[in-house]
Every structure is written in C-alpha cells, then in structure tokens.
A and B are shown apart, each in its own frame.
Chain A
Amino acid sequence: MLDLNTKKIKKNAYRVTKVRGETASRVRVPGGLLTAELLPLIQNIAETYGNGKIHLTTRQGFEIPGIKYTDIDAVNALLQPIIEKLNINQEIPGKGYTSAGTRNISACIGSNVCPFATYNTTNFAKKMEQEIFPNDLHFKVSFTGCANDCIKTRMHDFGIIGMTEPQYEKERCMGCQACVKACKKKSVDALSVENYRIVRNTEKCVGCGECVINCPTRAWTRSPETYYRLVIMGRTGKRNPRLAEDFLVWATEDAIIKIIKNTYGFVTNYIDREAPGGKEHIGYIIDRTGFSEFKKWALDGVELDSRTIVKGPIYWGGIHYD
C-alpha cells in the first residue's frame, strides 16, 4: 500500500498525477539550452521507469510521465548526472531536483543563434538560476533577446527583454536610410532624417537594434553595455489573465537580479498563509498590497543606472472574470 507525503513529492519536482500510483518527473533546463549528451540520459529514465514517453513542457523542461512513486529514489539517482551537467543548485546531491515553486527560468535562443538578439539569454537565465534557486515560492521568470519577445516574457511575473542603446557615428553615415526604413517598418519609427543625417527619438526607441543590423557601414553600432526592459506581473489563469507592464526601462543586469531577489522578501512578508496550499501568486499579492508597497521592497538597495527609467504607478489591465 502507498503511504506518501505528496507535499514532499511535489517539492522534489515530481507531480501528483491523475493516474493513481504514477508520478511524473520534471527535468528543468534553465535557459532552455542543453548539450545533446543529456538526451540519452533522459531517454533512459523514460524507458526504464516511465512509460517511454517524454513531454516537452512550455517552460523548456522535460516531463517524464508514468513513473511509479516507488521508483522515485531510483529515478533521482539517474537524474543526478543531468542535474550536475545543467549546474542546478541542489540541496542534497543524489536526491533529485529541490523545490518546484519557482519555475524553470526559460529563455529564447538569444545570441546563440538569433540575429535580433541583444544578449546571451541562456547565460543570464543560468546566472539567475544560481541567484534564486532553490525556492518554494511561485515565481515565473523568463528572458528574451529583443523586443520581439519570442519567449513571451509578458506572460511572466518577471520578463527581461534585451535592449541595446544604438550609437551613431555620423561620419560613417551616407544617408542611405536603411536604418530609417527598418525602424519604421519593423520597429517603432523612432528615426528621422535631418540634413541627410539621422536623428533618433530617444523617448520612442525600444533598443531593438534594427538600425544596427541594417546599417551597411557600421555608422550604427551597439552600446558596450546591454540594457534590459523589466516587465512585471503578467499572468495566465482563471481570474484575471493579463500582460506584464513595464517597470524598468534601460535597466542593468545587477539591478534586475537584485529586484527579483528583493521580491522574494516581499512575497514572504505578504503572502496569504491561508491561501490554498499556502500558495499565492505574486501578482495577486501586489493587487492586495498596492503597487507602491511592492516598489518600495523591490527597489530597496538597488543601484539604478542614470539611464534607467522607473515606471509607475502601474495599472494592469487584462480580462477580469472575478
């Protein structure tokens, strides 16, 4: 007879499934990039202890279904080399993934492949993994390389969108207007021509880098620093699905890491202990406390770059079913 502590099982990144007696193991891949050598290891778990199938999760993990609860220890042993290769923050070696509250940090392919990317999304995702894992609180964080937002950061608690600050060297510009056309057709129409030279509307520019990509003479280049747009409190769900709104624009890596870490403190302080399963999403907590209380906690001790624009007060829209 099975006698299980489901809370412990869930914390160990196993799911209590609809099939009596069977669980599913979730293999988290921070940043979504893994070496191919790990695939046979995952295959082996699925074929030895699962039902031979693997589900690709929306958050860039592998869900291995059909595992007997009694095989959890054996599966954890097989997960160990995967966890080590992925450099997962683990509490006790050999005991599998620790905690499943904070979700896998997902990332678009970014500068590994994509010509539009403004930074290495995987590396930042992995860095963030080191900073905030393991943690039981329900946070969804994702990284996207540019304003196209392929990973859909706007549906996350924290979405990080890469930005570059285009640098213009007017002596290298011959006025072909490739940048102007690209910005107008593919971005936000932030460029105009004045006396055959290009003027960038800094209020409008979203830092997508289309101008840099399209300039044939390197008159436009990227800023040495990468900047980020931090969008917050997007969500799906039953009550009030909504898109994340801008919190910071032209923010730095350090500021973003600190803000997200600060938010764990905010949530720990304000979470509704009576909520079902002790779980309450950050967005709903902010709805209760008000944005300014969140902002106070989030920006505590954060050093902002002189370029960084802090938005607020933020009002989220979305659809209300409640």
Chain B
Amino acid sequence: MGYQTTTAKMNAIFADLSKEYVIYAPKRYVGDGTFVHIDTIRYGEITDLSEIEFAEKSNYSFKEVLLPISETLFYFTENEMKEADAPKKGAIVFLRSCDLHGLKRMDAIYLENGAVDTYYKRLRDNTKFILMGCENSFENCFCVSMGTQQSDDYDAYLKVAGETVLVDSHWDVLDAALAGATQTPVIPDSVTANDTVVTIPETVPQTLFDSPFWEDYGNRCIACGRCNFVCPTCTCFTMQDIFYTDNGKAGERRRVWASCHVDGYTDMAGGHAFRNDKGQRMRFKVMHKVNDYKRRFGTHMCIGCGRCDDVCPEYISFANCINKLDALVNDTAKEEN
C-alpha cells in the first residue's frame, strides 16, 4: 500500500519502531575517510530521516549489519561453551535496489548452501528492509547490466522529498502505523541505464585459467582487499580464537571478514599458501563473482554496485576486467574455429 505523509510523522513512527528495532542507514562520517578531509559513507544507527545519506552511494554496503566485521560467536571455558547472545532488538535497514539483490546472494551463501548458518539467520530473521530509490545512476554503477536496478522484494520503499515522505509498504506493522495517512500509489525510483555497461561471457574456457591476461593484475593489485570489504556480496569470513590473557583457559571465538585478495586467505595448516600470485587472486575473485557462482546458484554473484571500482586504490576496474575478459573469450573462440 502506498502512502503520503510528512517527515515529522515518519520520524515519529521510526521513534516508535526503535523500541524494537535498531534503524541502520547509510550515514556520512565526516572526516573518517582514507585521506584527510574526506568523508566516509557507511552504515550506522540513525534516529532521524535527515541523518540518511540519500544523495550519494555508500562506500560500504549494508552487509555489516547482518555479517558484522567482527562477531563473537561463542565463549568457551575448559569444558563448556556458551553462544553469544543475539542482539535484543531487530534491525531495520535502508538500502538500494542493487544491495537488496545482494541480500539474496548472502541468503544463498548463509542459508541455502548446505547447513544453515544460525548466527546469520538469527540476525536475518529479525531484519526489515527499506528500499531507497535511485533517481540517477552513480559513477561506476552497472546494476542494469546485472539486472538488479529494480526490486519489489522489500518491506517498504521510502522516499523523502522536502517535508513529504512517500512510502510503499509491504509490512503490516508499517501499514498500521500509517493508517491515517493519505493513500496514493508509490512506485520506487529506479534507473534504466548506467554509463558503465558490462558484458559477461557465457562461459570462460578453462584454458584462460593461466592466461597472461591476469599478469597485468598481478603487477597492479596490492592485495589490500578493499574491493572485497566494500562488496555487498563478498561473504567470506575467517575465525579467531582468543584466549583471555589473565586466564588462558577461557576465551571466545570470533568470526571476522576475510578477503581472497589479502595474504593469508589460502594459508593452510603448516603455512603453505596456494594462491600467492595477485593476478591469480584477481582471476579467482572475478570468476567467483560471475560465472563460478552462477554455475552453482543460477545467478551471478555480483550485483553491479560498482563499489569495488569506486574504492580500488590502484584503479583496477572489475567492470572493465569483465569486459576485457569477454573480448578475450570471443577472440579465443574465433581462433579455435
């Protein structure tokens, strides 16, 4: 159901909801960027719609709400262990259409890929998703190429225009709260084209595994992992077992984000690492983001948000890599014919 209301009323509704939900949205953290006087837009708790950064793309995605950067899973003593408590409140998350598709990728990995991840599930089950529209494409976005520019899989869509708020609700709680508001059809803003267009090769032959194509990335990539950390669909984690220093017999296990670009990702017991070449890491990531994931789950993993291209300090473009790979695959096919 679509509604028209005011920011004041909507803020009051959120104030009420905040008794049961922590409200997360992209926020501007002034001066918290990599360099001095540069801001970061990342997810944080809000209490007022005016805190939400609607005008720009967030540098980091919403994924840290469902997959915290560092999350204590359980505490252990010599013979016992206790799972860490789940947050008392649920969560409401503001996000754009591409990210909402990213949520499906996270679900696929954590809920539908063999055993259900209970730590993910207990957060996921208590989270509501509010769509933010996109009036214009941002730099490096290629959602249209990935088919993620629209989504109606939301609990609500919300648009702020001055003092007016337009809401399309799929959530009974919000419907009840908005009962007195003017009803009106509300259609989410979405883009129909991006400057960046990506063509993904249907299949990538195994022969390109060791292609010199990847060497260029081997020379350029510094293995910082930023492209993975900003990515809403990178779901890798690693474990840390901490033994409390005053009592070496008790401690906790945390899971933390991991990145296939960063050293250590392929380290095994005994110290052997099997993917040291950064070009091969790029190959692994790119193929995971597109074809490999698709073979297993039916869709590409990448949702085309372009954050990896926004952030790479070495100006490595993932989007351009796919396009170059596509051209290479076509050339290889021609040669073979």
Q: Which chain A residues have a beta carbon within 8 Å of chain B's beta carbons?
A: 111, 115, 117-120, 164, 170-176, 178, 194-196, 209, 212-214, 216-219, 221-222, 224, 226
Contacts and interface: CB of A to CB of B under 8 A. Distances in A.
5 contacts: A111-B36, A196-B242, A216-B225, A217-B60, A226-B36
A213 B32 CA distance: 10
Interface in B248-279: 254, 256-259, 262, 264
A219 B257 CA distance: 13
B226 interface: yes
A214 B224 contact: yes
A174 B32 contact: no
B42 interface: yes
A164 B36 contact: yes
B225 A221 contact: no
Contacts, number: 74
A195 B242 contact: yes
Contacts of B240: 175, 195-196
A194 B240 CA distance: 12
Contact of A218 (B42, B238, B257): B42
Nearest to A116: B35
Contacts of B334: none
B37 A115 contact: no
B69 A217 contact: yes
A143 B229 CA distance: 36
A222 B264 CA distance: 27
Contacts of B60: 217-218
Given A195-B242, A216-B225, A222-B31, A173 B70 contact: yes
Contacts of B42: 218
B68 interface: yes
Contacts of A117: 35-36
Given A195-B242, A196-B242, A174 B69 contact: yes
B245 A174 contact: no
Given A172-B69, A196-B242, A218-B60, 6 more contacts: A111-B35, A118-B36, A119-B36, A120-B37, A171-B69, A219-B69
B31 A216 contact: no
B206 interface: no
Given A174-B258, A175-B256, A217 B242 contact: no
Most B Cβ at <10 Å: residue of A117, A176, A195: A176
- Per DSSP, chain B at the interface is loop
B233 to A, nearest CB: 17
Given A171-B70, A173-B69, A115 B35 contact: yes
Nearest to A146: B36
Contact of B70 (A172, A214, A226): A172
Given A174-B256, A196-B254, A218-B40, A213 B224 contact: no
B34 interface: yes
B308 to A, nearest CB: 12
B31 A111 contact: no
Nearest to B254: A196
B102 to A, nearest CB: 18
Interface residues of B, number: 30
Contact of B229 (A170, A212, A216, A222): A216
B171 interface: no
A217 B257 contact: yes
A231 to B, nearest CB: 20
A170 B31 contact: no
B224 A178 contact: yes
A222 B33 CA distance: 8
A103 to B, nearest CB: 27
Contact of B31 (A171, A217, A224): A224
Contact of B32 (A173, A209, A214, A221): A221
A195 B250 CA distance: 13
Contacts of A209: 36
B297 interface: no
Contacts of B40: 218, 221
Contacts of A170: 70
A87 to B, nearest CB: 21
Interface in B214-256: 224-226, 229, 238, 240, 242-243, 245, 254, 256
Q: Which 10 A-B pairs have the closest CB atoms?
A: A174-B256, A221-B32, A196-B240, A174-B257, A195-B242, A216-B226, A216-B229, A111-B36, A172-B69, A115-B35
A163 B35 CA distance: 13
B262 A176 contact: yes
A217 B264 CA distance: 17
A76 to B, nearest CB: 37
A199 to B, nearest CB: 12
Given A170-B70, A174-B258, A176-B262, A195 B245 contact: yes
Contacts of B259: 176, 216
B315 interface: no
Contacts of B36: 111, 117-119, 164, 209, 222, 226
Contacts of B254: 196
A293 to B, nearest CB: 37
Nearest to B71: A171
A217 B229 contact: yes
Contacts of A214: 224
A119 B42 CA distance: 23
Contacts of B70: 170-174
Interface in B29-73: 29, 31-37, 40, 42, 60, 68-70
Contacts of B262: 176, 178
B225 A218 contact: no
A176 B225 contact: yes
Contacts of A194: 245
Nearest to A174: B256
B252 to A, nearest CB: 9
B263 to A, nearest CB: 9
Most B Cβ at <10 Å: residue of A115, A117, A175, A194: A175
Contacts of B245: 194-195
